[in-house]
Chains A and B, each alone.
Chain A
Amino acid sequence: MPTISVTVARDVTEAIKVPRALFLPWPMGHHFGVPFHRDLQRRVVLAALGLLESSEQPGTILDLPIKWADVRREAKTLTEQGRKL
């Protein structure tokens, strides 16, 4: 069964040697971003699915280099705009 893991703990993922993973430098429990940020959540899901299709080496870990500070700034904007689900 082809699997893709989305992880915020690169060292744990390296240690347990999963077949392939997408790493986000984000907090635990926030693998797909922040509330109501559909575009970001979608971007992470699509990046994960892309890796599911493309990776060939066991243990591949792809970094999605989006800084948490930038995500937080976008989250603040969303909150100010009063966006809801």
Chain B
Amino acid sequence: MEKKFLVFYGKEYSYEKLIEDLYLLRNYSPYLYIKGNNPYQIFLSIIHSLIYDYPIEVIDGDLSEKELEEMEIDTKSLFILKEVKNQHKVNDFQTLLNDISENKNWTLTLYTSGTTGRPKRVSHNLETLTRNVKVHDKFKENIWAFAYNPTHFAGLQVFFQALCNQNTIIYTFDGQEKNLPDLIEKHKITNISATSTFFRSVLPSLKGKVYPSMKRITFGGEKYDSSLEKPLQAIFPHAKIRNIYASTEAGSLFVANGEVFEVPVSISKLVKVNDNNELLIHHSLLGKSETYTLENGWFKTGDLVEQVDPNHFKFISRLTDLINVGGYKVNPIEVENILIKVPGVIDLLVKAKANRVTGQILVAEVIKDPETDEMELKKSIKQFAGKYLQKWKIPRIINFVDEIPKTRTGKKVRK
């Protein structure tokens, strides 16, 4: 039987088909901008750029022309086509892998998702992009649920991990979330990497079921939510749960079992924490960009961490996420992690509201269980907050909403 490469909305693409299409693809663009983000076209184009060794710039197909303009991307150049000069036939998968690894000029440029400010352009070579990709015989039969935007860093990580081990990718992103239980069962999915938000949104449809096929669950792309670990473990009893620290700038760097990240010995001299508890990464670990501001060669990640010992740390919050309430710095994620436990709260977002008395106060936008009464829930949230949080960390205003805005990568927008 032909080994499947990708399953996308019921359509199956084998590795043979992939190799054939790589040969047939004669015209290419150095810009990868595919409206609707069809994952097959995206993956095919990336592999094509590697085989023919030309730099490629990956642009999210969900971006509107207006957004592209704001990113200073010349929309006309997106549709320029070039022709392959020396057409090259790959015979089998092993040759494909060899050809990929022999690239010299290839870089992949992408944009940070930009929760604050203009998205930054970052270029990676194959080494920085696949630093944490592991190839091993024992991974050969892995089947991946693909749960990220394929043009974003986390999605590319899953893609390379799956490709390098010749695994099958089952696309579960972008409207496919509700089909996840069926897809896991049908394809015997073994690995899934997704954001906490994704897991939270699929949990109701997975509840009460047990899927023994799942071997590994990875949290990435946003702050890890430890309260999801228990329910996920019940649904996936054989899965190891891991948490990954990665950024578009630095790639995937650390892995945590629970909340404590380990700094690998190989890069321990290139990672440090400054006096303000901000995580710093040496520039040699980064992709290339003209927009970094370095301090003596160190890149400030904007991530606040708590150092447990020289090689371990916990992630506390994004520096820019802190809200100043009357001089007290509040980490909205801490408040969210506490208040998500209030019965009747399904999801919530804590953000700042400016005022002239305390500078900012906290506002919570809450998605509630339809059965719960609004007034009662407001009271219980405030009481719960009063019991477990200092008073400046209590959301003073509580609004009930149907949806919490997210960036394209699925991170909550705290604006």
| A and B held together in a complex | no
Residues of A within 8 A of B (CB): none
